[in-house]
Structure 1
Amino acid sequence: MVFWHFAPIKPAWLDGEGGARAYFTHPLILLGIGAFAAYELLFFTSLGSFRQRWYEIFLASHVVLQVVALVFLYLHFHTARPYVLASLAIFLVDRVAWRFGLKSTTMTTDLTVLPDGETIILSANWDKPASKQSWFTWSRQNIRNGWKPTDHVFLTVPALGRKHALQAHPFTIASAAPPSQHKSGGDDEQPVHCWLNLLIRAQKGFTADLLCYAHRHHRVSVRLDGPYGSSHALDMLRAADNAVLVAGGSGIAVTFPLVWALLMGEGTDEDEHNELLALRGKKRKQRVRMMWIVHSDEHRYWVPDAMLDKLVASGLDLVVPPSTAVAGRPDVVGTVEGWIQEVDHSISDRKETAVVVSGPDGLNRLVRNTCAEAIRRGADIQLAVEKFGW
């Protein structure tokens, strides 16, 4: 459509006086070209390779270019103005009313630099507010009201400087989700305590500045916008007889909360869990396996051994191969295939396997291909890939 818009069968400038120069310098055409150029730049700065290298530039340009494009489009032709105003209204409601007004909160958090020297744990804890059944209180629920496994938040740290005060960076919540309901203790409800951890790997820009700040300060005030996310991965795992999770590096921030919810029964509505089991027609002993691949032995400090030991005691089959820096890449294909085939051979009736993988692109592709090959052989597999990046 863009081609036919700019290059009709008979160019418009051939019909008028002044030729191409007069045509392309006409205000109506200039405004249209401006809107087109802004959207093209918006596309190129939104590519994954650009976002990963220059996230701050992507973040700023995405907002600026969108505003510029809407201004040009508004002035370009009068029939477009209602649609531009509607787009602007949606943007303002989302950013001002929803995110800043309802979903954001400010809190003081602890900063801990882990032994590898390149990873930060940003943590906070508080008592979860008592839930109240009303539409207004439901719409105002932010991170203080809890979260679900695989949810993420947008983090803003104004203390890092003026430019960072306007930036919001997404991070998956790496800690176990709190129970959805308050615990009963006699006549009174016992408050639920929330423990929030964000696992932040320092790279460039914001994360590098935060690492430098964490070396000098142990506490910082932050703004958290969220939580946001989907329960698809957890629902898929709970519906399966065999749950397989593969984490590469900081992908443990995705798989650890999922395993905790599966084995410890926290972070989700228990009624929904029981309904899911009822739909399956019978209760069963679910097998939960997790493989965590780390590049360095120091990365194992990202999750306390006591937490992993508790999961293993609750039934988790955990495999943590030697670090890739020492032993090279582990046999991911053999491990995942073995877990799938073990279930197929150990039971007579057909059972479903759910696989969740979170890690670098190479690991995600490897697990995806392994599952595809198993499906060709007749295995019943559901797969969810939690990809890094934004």
Structure 2
Amino acid sequence: MSPRYPYPTRLSDLDLSDILASPANSDGSPANNSETLKMWWPSSHFNLRPALSERVSEFVKRSAASTVAAAAEGRGGGEQNAIIDALEFTRWLGVYYNIACVLFPIGVFVIRKAAGRIKGYKKAQRKKNKEESSDSDSRSFKNGNVDVSVVETASTASGSSASSAIIPAEIDSDESKPLLHNSSSSSKLPWYTLLYRRIKGFLTYQRPNDARGRVIPHNSILIINQLFFWTSIFLSIYKIYYPLDMANDNSQLRFFLLADRWGMIFTMNQPLNFILAAKTSPIKYLTGWSYEEHLIVHRMVATTSHVASLIHFAGMYVVYRMFIARTGQSFMSVLSRPDILFGVVSFVAFWIFGFTSVDEFRAKSYEIFLATHISFATLAMIFLYLHHPAARIYVVWSFAIWGIDRLVYRAYNKRWSADGVVQVLDESTLKVTIKNFGGSKKMKWEPAGHVFLTVPGWTRLQAHPFTIFTAPVGYDLEGNNIDDANEKEMVLVIRRLKGFTDALYGMGDEQGRIKVVVDGPYGSEHARGSLKDCQKTLFIAGGSGIAVAWPLMCEIIRREMDKNKNGKGGKRRKIVLVWIVHHEHHLNWIEQDLEKLEEVKRTMPREFEIEVRKFVTRGVNGRRPDLRKEVTRVVEDEDGVKVHGRTGVLVCGPDAMMREVRTIGRDLLWEGKDVEILAEKFGW
């Protein structure tokens, strides 16, 4: 609270006798006496400028005088109280913002994730109790001199006489269900289940690109973004333009409050903006958002900040025209004040790195995007700190978040020096194998994680993100344990584009050896956690999108391999990989891995089905797959082992492919199918 202009009281508690008794101006308004009607502006730096503050006080006093006259005539005095209500709300805007825009939306997803964890834990406990009960029954049979064993043997053409004793794989293991399923009754779902899946389908759907070709997020994240944006607008106008009365001078005071609030919203957005931009953001783990969703929300907060800064900047210029210009001060004299000048520099810096962050610019010049994003964001925050004292706490929190993420956590725990080998796969693709990580602890990562790669011999100022293609130790098809002594090599499959990747294409000595610095690994557990409870899994990868699909696929297969090894396997599972590439020689990227997969398939029980479908879109025999047919074939068990349960569909590739799969998923969910659509996008 400013000691010069403390908080105003309401009309019912305000003694206006001094105002009405004070000398009047030539236009009949009360004379300017800032000590008569005491003012407090909760955030505005105009508290520090008597020329403007006295002018504002004059407008308030004029309104107060007209209100007294109106009250004397029996017309009430609610307008003055409305302005004071707006001031009161502005005073507590920080609290309302943090509750409405930060704590509430994040809390909803935290509760949702916690409920899912509790549900999964209870399901695991029921499964464990069922297995213990089964083991107990088995021991009781043996104690009673009865030893029953059922052996399933795959039927062959030469052994057809034994096939009659085989239990068909299609029979459900639950003996409480009838052997002959009633298709009509099984297709009927409770109304609440159907409603839930249709709502889920609506949230999964992704609309086509807009007129400018920009990708529209899927509905669930789009709703979150829109709620955040419109909540910010509501907080900026609440109690300022209600009730709206443009016939008196209070309309100018309302405009002053509006511009002031947008400046507050811009400032309060910054800690949230920084924590969403952090690679080790706790919000990602608390909410269960995917990396793509987390990034889209960050961009929405940044967009709202740009809108807020623009309205605040333009609004304060209009305030100058309303209040300061009447005092005879020129615009340049006001602009030359240090606090105003600092605000202008912060505004310009914020918009420069905002412009270089758009999709088109980032895709063409990632190096410039990264450099301007860091440098101009730092510059904008420094001058925002100097612009106004009320902004300093938010700037300090933003820098604290950045420092903990970048300097403390990433620099000491996520930075590795290693040896790399560059291998050219074809004219548009290269493979980088990284090994010999420095440090006393081993390099570990999760399936579908990513790292930022720097080549000191080329430049130390650029770090580019790439998805880790190799499945980590303990999740691969090799059967290695997590605590194995040998550290696993990390493989990156990289598309050759302009800039860093083009330079990387020709790096290395005769053997392609280079020194690299690895920042990471990073990633999200969203896809892994969602696929864990799916009995059928379909992976759709477009080109280098195989780098996301392959390690996740290996994790599921490895989990079943370990269960089978421990005698707990035999449950029906189906895994299908649909890989779409431009040219046939692209299939050689993972030729050895696919050969290893064939070896693993021969060791797995027949209830566990693994299928790889490869499509080449260009060339003499090129053709594109019918994705709707491919997805429906797995969801509805049109061939192969019949598996009942949820189907997880993970897609990674071009935007058009991801949008098509989301649309297919929406249609299947609308029909009541139990489908989980997961999209992993290359977006940084």
Residue 214 (structure 1) shift: 4.4
2:600 corresponds to 1:302: no
Amino acid at match of 1:354: G
Between the aligned partners of 1:255 and 1:376, the Cα distance in structure 2 is 26
Residue among 655, 660, 664 paired with 1:366: 660
Query: Where does residue 231 of structure 1 map in the other structure?
Result: 525
Residue 94 (structure 1) shift: 2.0
Residue 322 (structure 1) shift: 2.8
Query: Where does residue 329 of structure 1 map in the other structure?
Result: 624
Residue 159 (structure 1) shift: 1.1
Q: In the comparison of the two structures, how many residue pairs are matched?
A: 358
Q: Spell out the pairing of 1:101-116 with structure 2 (5 A cutoff).
A: 101-114=412-425, 116=426
Q: Percent identity?
A: 33
Residue 4 (structure 1) shift: 5.0
Residue 238 (structure 1) shift: 2.1
Residue among 658, 666, 669 paired with 1:375: 669
SS in 1 for 2:636: helix
Does the 8 Å CA contact 2:418/2:436 hold for their aligned counterparts? no
Distance 1:36 1:319, change over 3 A: same
Q: Spell out the pairing of 1:113-152 with structure 2 (5 A cutoff).
A: 113-114=424-425, 116-125=426-435, 144-152=442-450
Residue 368 (structure 1) shift: 1.0
Residue 71 (structure 1) shift: 1.6
Between the aligned partners of 1:243 and 1:169, the Cα distance in structure 2 is 31
| 5+ long unaligned stretches in structure 2 | 1-261, 263-307, 602-608
Q: TM-score, normalised by structure 2?
A: 0.49
Does the 8 Å CA contact 1:368/1:383 hold for their aligned counterparts? yes
Query: Where does residue 472 of structure 2 map in the other structure?
Result: 177
Distance 1:214 1:291, change over 3 A: farther
Between the aligned partners of 2:639 and 2:613, the Cα distance in structure 1 is 20
Query: Where does residue 137 of structure 1 map in the other structure?
Result: none
SS in 1 for 2:506: helix
Between the aligned partners of 2:473 and 2:405, the Cα distance in structure 1 is 27
Residue among 574, 588, 597 paired with 1:287: 574
Greater Rg, structure 1 or structure 2?
Answer: 2
Does the 8 Å CA contact 2:473/2:481 hold for their aligned counterparts? no
Does the 8 Å CA contact 2:417/2:438 hold for their aligned counterparts? no
Does the 8 Å CA contact 2:615/2:623 hold for their aligned counterparts? no
2:378 corresponds to 1:88: no
RMSD, aligned α-carbons? 3.1
Residue 22 (structure 1) shift: 2.6
Residue 195 (structure 1) shift: 2.5
Amino acid at match of 1:339: V
Deviations 1:355-379 (A, max 9, x none): 1000011111111111111111111
Q: Which has the higher contact order (CA 8 A, sep 6+)?
A: 1
Query: Where does residue 385 of structure 1 map in the other structure?
Result: 679
Query: Where does residue 7 of structure 1 map in the other structure?
Result: 315
Query: Where does residue 16 of structure 1 map in the other structure?
Result: 327
Does the 8 Å CA contact 2:419/2:436 hold for their aligned counterparts? no
SS in 2 for 1:165: strand
Distance 1:76 1:4, change over 3 A: closer
Residue 380 (structure 1) shift: 0.7
Q: Which has more helix, going by share of residues?
A: 2
Between the aligned partners of 2:312 and 2:519, the Cα distance in structure 1 is 43
Between the aligned partners of 1:346 and 1:146, the Cα distance in structure 2 is 35
Deviations 1:336-361 (A, max 9, x none): 1222122699869x621111000011
Distance 1:196 1:215, change over 3 A: same
Distance 1:43 1:344, change over 3 A: farther
Between the aligned partners of 2:345 and 2:560, the Cα distance in structure 1 is 52
Query: Where does residue 597 of structure 2 map in the other structure?
Result: 311
Distance 1:321 1:65, change over 3 A: same
Residue 127 (structure 1) shift: 9.6
Between the aligned partners of 1:294 and 1:383, the Cα distance in structure 2 is 21
Between the aligned partners of 2:628 and 2:618, the Cα distance in structure 1 is 15
Q: TM-score, normalised by structure 1?
A: 0.83
2:451 corresponds to 1:153: yes
Between the aligned partners of 1:203 and 1:182, the Cα distance in structure 2 is 35
| 5+ long unaligned stretches in structure 1 | 130-139
Between the aligned partners of 1:127 and 1:61, the Cα distance in structure 2 is 30
Does the 8 Å CA contact 1:127/1:192 hold for their aligned counterparts? no
